[in-house]
Amino acid sequence: MIKIAASLVERIERQAEAEYPRECCGLLIGSIETDGRARVVVEIRAVANAWEESATMHRRMLITPQDYMRAEREFSRQGQGVVGNYHSHPDHPAVPSQFDLEHLAPWPTMSYIVVSVHEGRATALRSWELAADRSRFVEEEISKGS
Amino acid sequence: MPVTIIIPTALRQYAGGASELEVEAKTAGEALERLVSTHTELRKHLFNEQNRLRNFVNVYLNDEDIRHTGGPDTALKDGDTLMLVPSIAGGATTEEELATLPALSNEEIARYSRHLIMPEVGMEGQRRLKAASVLMIGTGGLGAPTGMYLAAAGVGRLGILDFDVVDESNLQRQIIHGTKDVGRPKIASARDRLSDINPHIQLDTYETRLTSENALALFRDYDIIVDGTDNFPTRYLVNDACVLAGKPNVYGSIFRFEGQASVFWAERGACYRCLYPEPPPPGLVPSCAEGGVLGVLPGIVGAIQANETIKLILGAEGALINRLLLFDAWQMRFRELKLRKDPSCPVCGERPTITELIDYEAFCGLKPQPIESEPRQEQAMEEMTAPELKQRLDRGDDLQIIDVREPNEYDIAHLQDSKLIPLGQVLNRMSEIDESRETVVHCKMGGRSAKAIEALQRAGYSGRLINLKGGINAWSNEVDPSVPKY
């Protein structure tokens, strides 16, 4: 399960629309509870898509380790850290792809939000977690606080 | 010594909730091993089944990726901080990018069916091959099989660069060219063969030498560069231009029965200079023209280069990055060496000193010294052309001819009344050369005979020694075409 304020969800959607037709991405900041089964998101960090710059053939970094490390450091004093990430699928469903499974998903404790953008409008936002055996993504419930 | 490991938020539940842990270790690898042996649940999240760090796990030692500081062997000091950070990659099969890949026609689907039925390639991989562009430097022994397999595999755009003309002596191994092609530019003959193999691909031909002036502009236009060159200056040029342009360099080299292959890609690992910072002294390593090469050897090494190129395009794991493959065709044995990126590498290291392409002939010591440099102690070597030798012999001059090639070369062809003393035996058999007679020394092309003369003069030989310019090949070209060239 992921707990995230409606205002944060809205910010993710606005970012995805602004970046359309490019893919946008970012990190979810917060804490992990209930033995790794629940993420409480208190902030998001948009990350510059490193996509174009490091385009060497087909494998492209979305979020660099430097961005990840910076976010972890910035929030560590408040006892928070990176608990997941989000990215957009322009003109495609809010479902992670096979490649996302192999490369986008480091660990099963994290949330993976995918937002679908059609013709510049965010139409669906869904959140996923990685099965414990890393074999697939399982959709998780989004609990929107205020 | 005690070092601190910072645990990312996402992994803390596997580390008893701790945000950082202290361990005693001498190297980064040891620290990680300590960590996962105390907190066993962490192991599978950091290491794969082969007990190697998962691809997306980065380890930073005081803000520096340990990949740049020696990997797991990186030494630790008291109070160092290690941080575990994932990189989050994506994109290969995001639908957005898939949509940009070219479609396959029904003809292409029929042609590539053996690829398409394997999930590792599939429609997506075949479309990636079609979208890819590869520049091959050279269409000789290595370039021949590489080009033919890449064309057959459906690499959408193949660049071929060569300045040479097909020679009879190429046909023993350069199977892209045929007997009817002798005398034609290699790129013309290669183009015919490749377009016959696969008319669906685009071929760009460059009839030119690769130079420091044109390399970067050429490389920028391709995804991958395949090095099929046979000499050190071009090999360093290809490497440096690949590093500067950010392209992977699929490397192969061959000599006699031995071959090497690797993928040098500075963004992911070692480059050629990390392995060989300096070229060997000129003349120390003979070329294939001097030392020979088993014809099938470039076939094997070139096929390995094609294989690795295709894997890079497909994004396959297990590329020859940071690995040097050594092959011995005579023993039929493969060996592998681990390579490391050298942080002090002059071109891909942390503080590179080579930031643009240089003069590679000079770098490899192949340029004559400038005239204003100190006058050389030794006198200049005396030389004679093949027609001059012929004239002197016809005149009946008393000349002693010493052939410094190997006996098997002597069997192919030799000059009349010449005496065979292979280069390696020249000093031991100095007494067999009559100092009182004027002496012409020759080999195949003039290189080894020059070395023999230098060695003899240094060893105190006092008679007159004259080098035959261009060796027995020049004799065949300019004096007697009935003497076979090899």
Model confidence pLDDT, tens digit, residues B310-320: 999 998 767 89
Instruction: Give the dihedral sign, CA B476/B481/B482/B484.
Output: positive
For A86-128, write each residue's pLDDT tens digit.
988 887 778 877 666 766 667 888 999 989 988 889 999 999 9
**Closest alpha carbon within chain B to A98:** B93
Looking at this predicted complex, what is its ipTM? 0.86
**Distance between CA B251 and CA B305 in Å, rounded?**
7
* Short-list B158, B9, B7, CA closest to B84: B7
| B6 neighbourhood in chain A, CB within 8 Å | 72
Q: Please report the pLDDT score of residue A105 as a whole number.
A: 64
Q: Is B229 helix (H, G, I), strand (E, B) or coil?
A: coil
A89 lies within 8 A of chain B by CB: yes
Report the residue from A57, A83, A97 with minimal CB separation from B9. A83
Q: What SS3 state is found at B408?
A: helix
Distance CA B446, CA B439 (A): 15
Look at residue A49 and give its three-state secondary structure: coil
Contact list in A for residue B45 (CB cut-off 8 A) is 106-107
Give DSSP secondary structure letters for B43-76.
HHHHB-TTSSB-TTEEEEETTEEGGGTTGGG-B-
Q: Among this protein's residues, is B242 annotated catalytic?
A: no
Which chain B residue's Cα is nearest to A118? B96
Q: Which residues contact B325 (CB under 8 A, 6 or more apart)?
A: B260, B261, B262, B304, B334, B335, B336
This prediction's pTM: 0.57
pLDDT for B216 equals 96
- Contact list in A for residue B90 (CB cut-off 8 A) is 25, 60, 62, 87, 99-100, 103-104
Which residue type, as a one-letter code, is found at position B461? Answer: Y
Nearest to B11 among A60, A92, A107 (CB): A107
Q: What integer pLDDT is reported at residue A145 of this predicted model?
A: 73
Task: Read off the DSSP letter of residue B2.
Answer: E
Q: What integer pLDDT is reported at residue B91 of this predicted model?
A: 44
Tell me the per-residue pLDDT of B22-78, one tens digit each, with 9 for 90 and over. Answer: 999 999 999 999 999 999 989 988 888 778 888 778 899 987 888 777 788 889 999
The Cα A83–Cα B294 span in angstroms is 58
Is A91's CB within 8 Å of B95's CB? yes
CB-based contact B240:B347 (threshold 8 Å): yes
* Pairwise pLDDT comparison (A50 vs B265), residue with the higher score: B265
In degrees and rounded to multiples of 5, residue B467 shows phi and psi of: -90, 135
Q: Three-state SS for B462? A: coil
Q: Does A100 touch chain B (CB under 8 A)?
A: yes
pLDDT in the model for residue B89: 65
Q: How confident is the model at residue A146 (pLDDT cuts 50, 70, 90)?
A: low
Closest chain A C-alpha to B114 CA, distance in angstroms: 23
Inspect the interface and report whether the beta carbons of B58 and A65 lie closer than 8 Å: yes
pLDDT for A1 beyond 50: yes
Residues of chain B with pLDDT under 50: 91-94, 369-377
Whether B57 has its CB under 8 Å from any CB of chain A: the answer is yes
3-state class percentages of chain A: helix first, strand second, coil last, to nearest 5 = 25, 45, 35
- What is the CA angle B39-B44-B45, rounded to 5? 85
